[in-house]
Structure 1
């Protein structure tokens, strides 16, 4: 068996999600090749070659892949993927955008968001917001799969010695173009890779009150998230959303503040190792999954927590 892993990167460095996908690929078995598609992405390719378990790194370094537009990357993946039995990508915005297109071009089904590898053709994936786990078996010659990173421990980032090969493939699909991007800058850890996450919900009442969370987060070295209710209310940007339609996180410590615990939110954080809930409603569903619960007004509890830290 041969497995092609689509690397998640920013042209200069490899994203941690790639390490989780490599770990999933190792469980499937076979030779693992990592595809790094970008522009001036040599540094990311070099990092990929150091990942333990990777046999080869394929680099597509061309301006058409500079912003990793799904329309262009999917064509590349379909072209290279014909020689592999499995194609894997992280279940991130990029992965979920490009891989279904590649699967369509290859005329095979996609298996989304796997959390367990049962065998080379059988996988488990959550459905119904994680309330049911489906076992899916594929008879396609090429298995196209997105991987939920939080379900797999990452492969070691250093210690490998994969060969690096350059491919000349460069196709501009011509159906989209990159215009601009506005990136939110923060000194806090990235939400999906942070060891500690503190999230606020509708109970925060407004965006200004999130400053209470930021103060605690900075003392803990934590990332800050939010429920969909808080995002929909305009309290914070949607890139902070944790949940079924947001980001999936599984930190060592998750602190839910003013979050009732809707099933869609739980789907995005219930795999956290320790869950702490602060809510003045003692019947809030969040307490059913919390390891520690504090029934209190968050506007009293957060300042006290901050002072104690």
Structure 2
């Protein structure tokens, strides 16, 4: 019957039948996006159309209805306008927005739901990044995040549920996050639990900024895509290619790989100071956030907060 009965209401519990399909078969997708304060007191969304397109693609993969891009963006704009007082003013802080779509038909039959409910919530978000501290990642060789033909490039809850045990294992190993390798050959670096990875080879403007290429098993991150463009703007060479665990280890030990960082909507950019696996631990550089990592983060935040030119038209003004 299409999208109907939209309403803006106070935050509160959802009331759903215990046999609602989402509880049993995990038919659900979501997005993560942010609204940023601007120097003149206004508010902008960062690349909301990209989120809308990914949301629709994720929904299609899980056999949920695809929401039109314009309608999706309109819902986000309306909530931001309503909750504008919750948008923080400091650089690096934002209003985090979580749109999600769940199967809400009642029934226990294993089939696509004929009814779906879209919900959008928001919360103020502090800056994650610590300029003096980098994270340590656990390289999971026991568990994989996704396989070819699966749901790896969809932003669905099942992918994240499958990552939780590895995340628990990482914590037990004294690590902050998990890095996954491919399911087929079990040697190619893919991504972290909810973030894409970047490897920097060399230093200065001769450096190459490399990220694992999209293979259908990685989430096509919007921050990842933005950094590929931004790095070129800053004068760096970029590369999308495969990197193995051995190349990661040997690269940091030889000094060829000088910096590593992870990126995503929530943390924006988080430096990776060391990696740990069953075979040992290896540190990147001095183990702290690097010069290029900090430069890219500062440049991206400047665009998001409107203190640098937005020549790619990434910001969508709401207020």
Given the two structures, how large is their TM-score scaled by the length of structure 1? 0.27
Q: Using CA pairs below 8 Å that are at least 6 residues apart, which structure has the higher relative contact order?
A: 2
Given the two structures, how large is their TM-score scaled by the length of structure 2? 0.27
